[in-house]
Every structure is written in C-alpha cells, then in structure tokens.
Chains A and B, each alone.
Chain A
Amino acid sequence: MISPTHRLFKSFGIVSTLLLMIGGSEASAAGLNVGITLHPYFSFVANIVGDRAEIIPLIDADANPHGYSPQPSDMIRITSMDVLVVNGIGHDSWAFEILDAAGRKDGLTLIYANDGVSLIPIAGDNSGEKIVNPHTFISTTAAIQQVYSIARSLGELDPDNADYYRDNARRYALEIRKLRAEFDQKVTGTDLSRFLAATMHSGYDYILQELGLQVSAVIEPRHGVEPTARQLADTIDRINIAHVNVLFAEKYFASKLSDTIRDATGVRMYSISHISSGPYTPEKFVEEMRENLNTLAQAINDVATDQ
C-alpha cells in the first residue's frame, strides 16, 4: 500500500530533488539573465530557476514602484537581460519607459506574468464600472498561476532546463498553498458572519476574494491618491451603514487618512504588506504573504471576539 504522501512527492519530489543535487554543482554562467520589475517576481523566478539563471532586478530594492521615475542605472541593468518578467497590467508601466529609453523595446523578450491569470475587477467601486485590478501578486491562487506561467515561458527559452523549472514551480506552488493551510488552522471554527472589511486601496482584492472575504468599500479612488472631502464623507457613510468593522491599510506607506477613518467609524485597523519594499530575496514573497495571512487571521479572530 502506497501512502498518499508517498505518491504526492513521487515525481516532482524525488526526481526534482535528484535534479537539484545534480544541478547544485553547476554554475549559472551559461544560464539566462532574467530581469524582474517587482519584488514578488524576484521570489517567483528565484524559486523556479534555482542557480541555473541570474536574476537582475530592474530597479533598486528600496525604490518605490508606485509612480517610479526611471533612473540612468536602470538603462545599464536592462542591457544585460535576456528576458524581463513584468506585471504588465498597470503596476510597472515605468519598465516600458526604460525599455524605450534603452532602445530594447523590440529586442528584449518579455514575459507577461499575468498572461494566464483570470483577472477580477476592483472591489468596492461604486461607480458601476468594472476596472481591472492589477494586484495579482498579493494572493496565493493568482500567484501560483503566475509561477506556472513564468516557469513555462522560461522553459521555452531554456529547453534544457524546462523540466527543472516546471518541477521547481510545482514545489513552490505547494509551498504557497501551505500558507493557506496555516491560515486555515488559525481561523477554523471561527464565526466569520460579522467580518466586514474595507481597504485603503484595491491591493488586497485577490487574496480576500480567494479566502471568501468580501470587500465592502475601498477608500482611495486610485492607488496613492487620497479621496476628496466629499468622497471621504461618502465612504465613511458607507462604512457606517454597512457596519464595516475592519480596515486594511498599507504596511509600508502609512497614511493619516486611515487614522481619520478609524476615528470616524471605530473600525479596527490592520496593516497588509504590498510586497513592494525591502531587499530582493527568494523567501520574500512567502514570508510576507505568511505575515499578511497571519494579520487576516488575527483580524477575523478579533472581530469574532468582539461579538
């Protein structure tokens, strides 16, 4: 009798572990130079390619990707890339300015990480419009879809390592899924019926939706743009009428606005990471998503305790 665990790790566990052992001694000198635009993509690519490719972040680790202005050093970095992984749907538009300025618009292969992602509209938008939400990387399911998509594209560019990339993508996807399992252990049996959330901006729609947590209101009309006095008053009214009891704000970009809303409504406030700041590391995405999910679990349990 073969156990499920045994079967589970059969092909991509045993085989890819052997591949890792073999590949561990190989240098990446002949591998691809893979550029990335955002922190999550560094983690995704690092976990896919191991030591068989170099990863080159397009902008400095401490640069804020929101409203980023291209720098001369970016042009130098982009010249050494064989391929560039981009979000491409609204979060790294500056990358295309750099491509243009460096004269690599037609010569550099681009991997659009979201090519295979089923997008969702921005939640809580009362305008009636369906606006694409580009924050696909603050998630688990959409993140996994991007990992597979990137691995497949890199495998097409580097066929000798295609199986290695695919197996690593599978292992990494399971690691991301385990984050959901950890979250579940923290909220199992908790009453979520009164959990009603608002967010400062639309960055958390993907993760909240996949967890089955709906967003009742979004404060900022656009990422980084504060609402007008009228918009803010309307939003506060909506929060009060809908009995919203939790507000999620951005961890790295503190805003006095969130304090104002908390004071006006009495909501509990929590910080979620946008995964867009600090050093580029292979572990960053999992570490910060784990922290985000812990925060969500804390908020859920706090609301349940209030009842």
Chain B
Amino acid sequence: MVLSAITVTLLATLALYVNERGQNVETQEIYGWQVSAFNTLTGADQAIYNSLYTVKDEIPYIYDDINYFNQPGEKFHWPNLQDFQDYLLPPFLMDTSWEQNGSLQWTLFEPLPEGEMQGSTFYRGTDGQLPGQGSFLLVIGHIHAGFTNSNAIVVWWNEANHVEMPENGFRDSLILRGWREVVPYSGSEEVRRIFGE
C-alpha cells in the first residue's frame, strides 16, 4: 500500500517535471539535404536564421510598400539593403547585434528576365567574422515566373564561411554546392509533441 502510494507520487512528480521542463527534441525528421535550426545551428547562426524566418513574412509587405509609387512601366524591385536599414530589419540591419552575430555581408540578387536565374530573388549572407560561422541564402521563388509551384521563401545554410553567388536557385543545384535547407523546430511541432495532435 505504502509502496503503491510512493510509486504514484513519483510518477506524478515525474509527469509534472516533464510537463514544466519540456522534453529533449530528438524526433524531428529531416532529410539529409536539410539542417535543423534547433538541433544543429548554434549561437549566431541560429539567431540569424530565426531573424530570417521572421522577416520572410515581412519582405512581401515591404515589396508592396517600396513599389507603391512606381510610375506606369517602371520596374518593380525587391527591397535592397538600404530598404532593410530603413525598416530596422535584422539580420540585415547593421547595428551592434549584427556585429555581435558575425557581421555577415549581405547582397541582393534581383531576378533576371530570362535564363536560369529567372524567377528567383536571392539574399546572400557570407564572410561572417565568427569562428566556424556559415553562410546564408534566402531564396524567394516566384510562381508567376515558373520557378516554383508556390511563392515560396526558403532559407538555406552552407557551412562554408565564404560562398559565391549560386548559379541558380534550383534545389538540386544548391544541394550540389553544399547548401542545406534550414528547417525550424516550430511551435506547431512542439504543440503536436505535447498534445499528440
């Protein structure tokens, strides 16, 4: 009787502990050409990715803003590095936090009207100053140009500190050049783990 009570108490305490503390995230399934933001990226690279993960939602809004006053026939353009300074947008904003996170050098490559680069916009961040720091590539694919099946914005990471501009934004081509798609461990996945939904 006493043993049963102790066992129940121990199990209840363990359940409360696990519930409050959370569990080790070992179950996230990713492909070999992907990399986990949660399990693999660390420190500055993890911070940079999380900023990119947020701003990818904002870039389309900024695109609308900066092209609003375009004259008829004027070419629409994607936000450049100066636009990101105006919008105070990390990881592009060159402030103290940017320096602390390695001072990645960001470059915008606008889509070309034809050829392999058609329909994709790149933001490349490379040459970070921290030991072991990788490079980033944010790729905006445009469905209207036939680049993808959706207007997807994907973040890629390359363990190389310095990378050249990719020849195109196609997945297989990027993978062959050492790029790996970064996969977040998101709140929705954690909710599924907790509630089993």
User: DSSP class of A's interface residues: helix, strand, loop or mixed?
Assistant: mixed
Q: A interface vs B, CB < 8 Å? A: 2, 4-8, 10-12, 88-90, 93, 112-122, 129-134, 136, 141-142, 144-145, 148, 170, 173-174, 177-178, 180-181, 183-184, 187-188, 190, 192, 209-214, 222-223
Q: Which residues of A have CB within 8 Å of B82?
A: 4
From B43, B53, B90, B188, give the contact of A145 (CB < 8 A): B53
Q: How large is the interface on B (under 10, 10 to 19, 20 to 34, 35 or more residues)?
A: 35 or more
Q: Mark B76-106, 1 if CB is under 8 A from A, else 0.
A: 0000001100111110010111111100000
Please determine whether A4 and B186 come into contact, CB atoms closer than 8 angstroms.
no
CB-nearest residue of chain B to A110 = B191
Number of A-B contacts (CB under 8 A): 161
Chain B, 173-197, CB within 8 A of any chain A CB? 184-188, 190-191, 194
Please determine whether B186 and A115 come into contact, CB atoms closer than 8 angstroms.
yes
Given contacts A89-B191, A145-B54, contact A117 B186 (CB under 8 A): yes
From A6, A112, A180, A192, give the contact of B100 (CB < 8 A): A192
Complex formed: what's the CA distance from A178 to B89 in Å? 10
CB-nearest residue of chain B to A3 = B86
B2: interface (CB < 8 Å): no
Q: Which residues of A have CB within 8 Å of B101?
A: 212
From A89, A118, A130, A131, give the contact of B53 (CB < 8 A): A118
Chain B, 48-66, CB within 8 A of any chain A CB? 49-51, 53-54, 57-58, 61, 64-66
Q: Which residues of A have CB within 8 Å of B166?
A: none
Please determine whether A129 and B24 come into contact, CB atoms closer than 8 angstroms.
yes
Please determine whether B22 and A134 come into contact, CB atoms closer than 8 angstroms.
yes
Please determine whether B24 and A131 come into contact, CB atoms closer than 8 angstroms.
yes
Looking at A10, A112, A118, A136, the one whose CB has the most chain B CB atoms below 10 A away is A118
B38: interface (CB < 8 Å): yes
B37: interface (CB < 8 Å): yes
Please determine whether A180 and B69 come into contact, CB atoms closer than 8 angstroms.
no
Complex formed: what's the CA distance from A181 to B185 in Å? 28
